[in-house]
């Protein structure tokens, strides 16, 4: 029997049935479903029994965690005092999937999938992500004079994705070919509804939270990496990663905080991950497999209300991250250095600046939580050995 080595993490409150399409894609392309364990992260108000039936009907191993189940899981593992690291009613609850993966060392890889996406039928979704993580050799490398790369730079649409700093727009980018190994994350991009922030959606003339401009496969060229010292937006709707990155991949605590900062959880975690990759000589792969993003209509102004509290901070967080951990030798050390910089940042400089220290403190606790899980695993292993 194959090793169950891939933890698939799906935050869902509306469209858990999307998992069926990913299972069917795996079957059509000969990817072994026995390698997958699906973690559905949901809310107490959702039909968890229907989700469990769906997994069973698709022949998928997995578990469903609403808020109550998450709290129980933390208690069972002796880390209830870290449960607050997972914010309530927030997309950042994907961090629970990372904790779950970390607690089970059989998982070598994680995959984030949003429930408003579907795989493209003609591409092996899971197989392509894992192949990207194994990539060694030549690939296009991109950089810009603003130290930021727009992941939509290959498109003629002139779109900038959610989280891209406004101060870094109108950049001049260059491509070269480079040799890479040590790929630790694979970001699949998206067709149909682009992942834009509310201001850019309004500028595109759309009041339903979607943007009138849509992307197709023709908007994307060859797969690419971003040069060291340059940043990019990392969206967790379609993303695979190696287990090793988890300490430097905390999805920052959005929405459920005193400042109502939201919508930047995966964006800021991507900054942390990219800094760790640059320091440690690792790479983040971008391009295929594409997914179809079918964002449901909703008020663009509602999204704007969720984003505006953090818009100014987003212009500067990357600069704070970029000066941290130069001499670090591990993901944990990079994350700890970034946490220190966030805590030390001048809170008076920007609107809601106090939120930066809040994030730094949560990141420090994140590392402590992972260490506690490691200690628990060692203790269980030693107890088992003694029993044997």
| Strand residue runs (E) in 167-308 | 173-180, 183-192, 224-226, 238-242, 283-293
- What share of the chain has pLDDT > 70, as a percent? 96
What integer best gives the mean pLDDT of the chain?
95
29 in a domain, yes or no? Answer: yes
pLDDT for position 1:
54
Question: Would you say 331 and 245 are in contact if contact means Cβ atoms under 8 Å apart?
Answer: yes
pLDDT for position 121:
96
b/e burial code for range 321-330 (CB count within 10 A of at least 16 → b): bbebbeebee
Per DSSP, the chain holds a count of helices (H) and strands (E) of 11, 11
DSSP 34: G
- State the average pLDDT over residues 33-39: 98
- What share of the chain has pLDDT > 90, as a percent? 94
381 in a domain, yes or no? Answer: yes
pTM of the model: 0.96
- Phi (first) and psi of residue 13, to 5 degrees: -130, -5
92 in a domain, yes or no? Answer: yes
pLDDT tens per residue, range 233-277: 999 999 999 999 999 999 999 999 999 999 999 999 999 999 999
- State the average pLDDT over residues 289-317: 96
Q: Please report the sign of the dihedral spanned by the C-alpha atoms of residue 240, residue 160, residue 143, residue 327.
A: negative
1 in a domain, yes or no? Answer: no
pLDDT for position 34:
97
Range(s) of the domain holding residue 31: 6-387
Assign 386 a pLDDT band (cuts: 50, 70, 90). low
Residues contacting residue 306 through CB under 8 Å, at least 6 positions apart: 198, 255, 260, 262, 263
Q: Is the pLDDT of residue 289 over 90?
A: yes
Residue 40 and residue 343: Cα distance in Å, rounded?
A: 32
219 in a domain, yes or no? Answer: yes
Question: Would you say 41 and 115 are in contact if contact means Cβ atoms under 8 Å apart?
Answer: no
pLDDT for position 89:
87
pLDDT tens per residue, range 72-82: 999 999 999 99
Q: Is the pLDDT of residue 373 over 70?
A: yes
Assign 384 a pLDDT band (cuts: 50, 70, 90). very low
- State the average pLDDT over residues 28-43: 98
Range of lowest pLDDT (2-6, 22-26, 164-168): 2-6
Q: Name the residue among 274, 202, 295 with its Cα closest to residue 232.
A: 274
Q: Is the pLDDT of residue 379 over 90?
A: no
249 in a domain, yes or no? Answer: yes
**Cross-strand partners of 117:** 293
How many whole angstroms from its chain centre is CA 266? 5
Tell me how many domains the chain contains.
Answer: 1
Cα angle: 216, vertex 220, 223; to 5 degrees: 145
Question: Would you say 18 and 116 are in contact if contact means Cβ atoms under 8 Å apart?
Answer: yes
16 in a domain, yes or no? Answer: yes
């Amino acid at each position: 029997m194959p090793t169950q080595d891939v933890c698939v993490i799906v935050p869902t409150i509306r469209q858990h049935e999307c998992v069926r399409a990913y299972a069917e894609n795996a079957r059509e392309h000969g990817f072994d479903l026995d390698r997958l364990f699906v973690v559905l992260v949901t809310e107490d108000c959702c039909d968890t029994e229907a989700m469990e039936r769906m997994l069973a009907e698709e022949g998928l191993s997995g578990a469903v965690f609403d808020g109550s189940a998450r709290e129980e899981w933390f208690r069972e593992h002796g880390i209830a005092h870290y449960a607050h690291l997972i914010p309530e009613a927030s997309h950042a609850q994907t961090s629970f999937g990372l904790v779950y993966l970390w607690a089970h060392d059989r998982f070598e890889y994680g995959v984030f999938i949003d429930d408003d996406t579907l795989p493209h039928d003609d591409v092996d979704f899971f197989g392509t992500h894992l192949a990207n993580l194994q990539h060694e050799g030549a690939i296009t490398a991109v950089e810009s004079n603003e130290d930021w790369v727009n992941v939509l730079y290959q498109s003629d649409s002139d779109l900038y994705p959610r989280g891209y700093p406004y101060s870094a727009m109108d950049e001049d980018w260059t491509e070269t070919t480079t040799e890479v190994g040590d790929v630790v994350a694979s970001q699949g991009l998206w067709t149909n509804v682009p992942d834009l922030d509310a201001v850019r959606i309004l500028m595109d003339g759309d009041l339903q939270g979607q943007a009138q401009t849509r992307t197709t496969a023709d908007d994307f060229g060859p797969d690419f990496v971003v040069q060291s010292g340059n940043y990019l937006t990392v969206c967790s709707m379609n993303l695979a990663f190696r287990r090793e990155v988890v300490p430097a991949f905390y999805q920052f605590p959005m929405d459920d905080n005193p400042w109502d900062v939201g919508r930047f959880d995966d964006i800021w975690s991507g900054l942390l991950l990219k800094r760790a990759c640059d320091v440690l000589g690792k790479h983040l792969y971008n391009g295929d497999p594409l997914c179809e993003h079918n964002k449901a209509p909703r008020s663009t102004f509602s999204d704007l209300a969720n984003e505006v509290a953090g818009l100014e901070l987003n212009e500067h967080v990357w600069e704070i991250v970029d000066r941290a951990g130069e001499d670090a030798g591990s993901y944990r050390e990079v994350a700890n250095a970034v946490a220190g910089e966030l805590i030390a940042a001048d809170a008076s400089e920007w609107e809601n600046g106090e939120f930066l220290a809040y994030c730094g403190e949560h990141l420090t606790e994140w590392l402590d939580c992972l260490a506690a899980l490691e200690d628990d695993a060692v203790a269980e292993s030693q107890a088992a050995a003694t029993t044997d």
